[in-house]
Copies of this chain bind each other. A is one copy, B any other.
Amino acid sequence: MKTINSTAAADGFRLPAEFEPHSGCVLIFPERADSWQYGAIKARKAFAAVATEIAKCEKVTVLASAAQYQNARLIMPPEVRVVEMSSDDAWARDVSPEFVVNDSGDMRGVSFGFNAWGGLHDGLYFPWDKDDAISKKLCDLYDIDMYDNGDFILEGGSISCNGEGTLLTTEACLLSGGRNPNLTKAQIEARLHDALGIDKVIWLKNGILGDETNEHVDNICVFCAEDEVLLSWDENESTEQHKVCAECLEILENSTTADGRPIKVHKIPMPSPVYMTEEECEGLDLFDGEPTRTTSEPLSASYVNLFIANDRVVMPFFGGENEAADKRAQELLQKIFPTRKVVGIYARDILIGGGNIHCITHQIPEHK
């Protein structure tokens, strides 16, 4: 793996959209006892269900620690590749490099700094050195050259790209004190331009309130086509979340893509709030002496936290009182993705860890 002393933009590379063709997808096997209840048993099954579904149409690689390799190999189906790699948790979306491509089909990796969603300012765990090393290790594993942006903190879940130079993000995350507090908004845009070939950033204000990633955009609004987005929508007009969603809508309706096209917004109604049970909370180790979850704070449940695979969309189902909402969201998404099969995976056991299907996956674009 060669480190390239240039930028993707200067070299004619761009960040493809998730809905463009993939050569594969990466996940990380869950293990951390303060993130995943009761030894991560249920989470692992949920991760395996996601991996199994994606593996039907693209090559899935699951990273597992030395201690968990054999277990991961047994739980994952044979068509999934399991590769040993150490990590601090299981969020492939955020710790992977971004993969950029050029018109010749070459692929390179762009490695960013990772500090557990806020570092010592308001990050979620310490240390995070193993996670921070993954983006470079993945470039090495996939045998591609790399642009090193280790001095710029960026997680994959904090951005959504249309593949043509337009990027969605939230101010709550990218301007937070735990990311790049010494950079102005304009400087951040310049970094995104150079590192990923982004010509235009659409800044939403907030994401899903209470989302401990400082409100990653991939839990509230993501591109599903060059000029179309999925917007998580709180139908209860009395909530703070509804105000946030409405504000996002207004911004989107007053924005265009980099090439000047208006943006079509698909509202995807949110599930009713999902809470941890007492039993689930008791299944988690403490972190730094404190409980990581309580029964009183809603989990950040959203249907747009999905993965767009080559011939299918893998979306979260929450079950229980959300069964009807699950089906309704699936039907809506099936209309939005007519060429793909929309498959629901029961994802409560992923949500408990603090994210969802998009957060635990990272696509590798098609390349030569």
Contacts and interface: CB of A to CB of B under 8 A. Distances in A.
A84 B138 CA distance: 10
Contacts of A59: 143
A2 interface: yes
Contacts of A140: 73, 81-83
A342 to B, nearest CB: 28
Contact of A66 (B2, B69, B86): B86
Contacts of A82: 1, 140
A141 B136 CA distance: 17
Interface in A219-268: none
A167 interface: no
A137 interface: yes
A66 to B, nearest CB: 4
A187 interface: no
Q: How many monomers of this chain does the complex have?
A: 2
Contacts of A73: 1, 136, 140
A108 to B, nearest CB: 13
Given A1-B81, A78-B1, A84-B86, A69 B137 contact: yes
A25 to B, nearest CB: 14
Given A69-B137, A143-B59, A84 B81 contact: no
Interface in A74-121: 78-79, 81-86
A6 interface: no
A141 B66 contact: no
B69 A133 contact: yes
A56 interface: no
A132 to B, nearest CB: 11
Contacts of A79: 2
Contacts of A136: 73
B3 A70 contact: no
B3 A84 contact: no
Interface string A1-40: 1110000000000000000000000000000000000000
Contacts of A66: 66, 86, 130
Nearest to A4: B78
Of A3, A81, A83, A84, chain B has the most CB atoms within 10 Å of the CB of A84
A260 to B, nearest CB: 41
Interface in A129-175: 130, 133, 136-137, 140-141, 143, 145
Given A85-B84, A133-B70, A78 B3 contact: yes
6 contacts: A2-B79, A3-B78, A66-B130, A73-B136, A81-B143, A82-B140
